[in-house]
Amino acid sequence: MRIALRRKTDVKLVERREEVMAFVQRVAAVEVANMSDVVELLAKVDAEADALCLESTEDWGERLAIKRKGGGHHFDDDERATASRAYCRASLLHSSATWHARLVDGQGQIKRLVDGFRSATGGTALSRRATIERCTSHLTSVHKTLADIVQSDHVIASLKAMASNGIPQSVHSDAEALRISTVALAEYVHDQAAKELAGFRSETKMTQRFRANQAAAVCVAAGELLRGVASLAGEGAVPAHFVEQVAGGISELEAFLAENDRGSDFDEIDDEI
C-alpha cells in the first residue's frame, strides 16, 4: 500500500516538475524580514508543499531522487540540492514560528489564569491555598517551557542555522517576555496572602486559633511563589515589599501558633469556618 502510494506521488511530482522546481527555488531564496513574515510565509509554504506532495517529514532533495527508466533521475543533482536547501529553510521557518507561538501562548495562559481568578466568579470555587497552588504549578510549567526551548542544544544549533539562512527568530525576546509575565502571578498571590492575613487579623482571639494554620499555609505557599518569580523574572521585577509583607505575616502567624501551643504545622484547614 505504501509503495503504491509513493509511486503515485512520484508520478505527480514528475508531472508537476516545473511547479515543484519553481516552489523549491522560491523557498530556497526568499527573504524574510521579521516574525510576522515567518508566520505568514510558513502557512503558504506548508499549503503549497502539501499540494505538491512534498511532506515535512522527508528532505525534499531526497524525495526528488526519483529514478528514471533507463538510468539517472528525473531531477538532477543541482535540482535536488536546491530542494534540500528549501527543505532546510522550511524546517527552520517551522521551528521559528513554533517556538514563537509557544512562548507567546505561555504569556497568554498566565493572563487568562490570573484574569479568571480575579473575575467575579473565577476563583470562588477554590480556596486561596488552591489558587496559589495552581499559580505555582503554572510557574513550574513556565520553567519547563524555557528549559525546553532556551536551554536546548537542538535549539541553540537551530538558532545558528537560522542566522546563516536569513530566518528571523525571536526566541530570546519572547523568553524574556514570558519571564516578565510571571510577575502577574506574584501580584495575584501577594493579594491573596494579604487578604488572608487581613481576614486572620479581623477574627477574635478565639476564632484566630482556628484560622491560624490555614493563614500560615497560604502565606508560606505565597512566599515560595514570590521568591520563585523573583528568581525567574530578575532583580526588581517583584517589589521587595511583597516578599517582606508576606514574610512578616508568616513570622506573625508562627508567633501566634507558638504562643497558643499550636506548633508550626501549616496543614490547611478548609476556608469555610
The tens digit of pLDDT for each residue in 5-18 reads 889 999 999 999 99
Instruction: Give the pLDDT band (50/70/90) at residue 186.
Output: very high
Distances (CA, A) of 177 to 109, 124, 156, 172, 240: 13, 29, 19, 9, 21
Residue 73 pairs in a beta bridge with 67
Query: Alpha helix locations (H) across the chain?
Result: 2-15, 17-29, 35-51, 60-63, 77-118, 128-149, 153-165, 171-181, 183-202, 205-233, 240-259
Domain boundary among 93, 109, 136: 93
User: Does 147 have pLDDT greater than 60?
Assistant: yes
Cα dihedral 11, 13, 14, 20, rounded to 10, equals 170
CA distance 75 to 72: 9
User: Does 122 have pLDDT greater than 60?
Assistant: no
Instruction: Give the pLDDT band (50/70/90) at residue 269.
Output: very low
Q: Are residues 139 and 163 in the same domain?
A: yes
Q: Structural domain tally of the chain?
A: 2
What domain range is 100 assigned to? 95-259
Q: Are residues 26 and 99 in the same domain?
A: no
Cα dihedral 94, 97, 102, 103, rounded to 10, equals 140
Task: Tell me whether residue 150 is in a domain.
Answer: yes
Amino acid at 219: C
Q: Are residues 107 and 74 in the same domain?
A: no
Q: Are residues 121 and 51 in the same domain?
A: no
Q: What pLDDT does 70 receive?
A: 87
Q: Are residues 194 and 218 in the same domain?
A: yes
* Distance from chain centroid for Cα 34: 20
> What one-character DSSP code corresponds to residue 159?
H
Task: Tell me whether residue 112 is in a domain.
Answer: yes
Mean of pLDDT values over 157-184: 97
Task: Tell me whether residue 265 is in a domain.
Answer: no
Q: Are residues 172 and 67 in the same domain?
A: no
Q: Are residues 103 and 237 in the same domain?
A: yes
Average pLDDT along the chain? 92
Q: Are residues 156 and 214 in the same domain?
A: yes
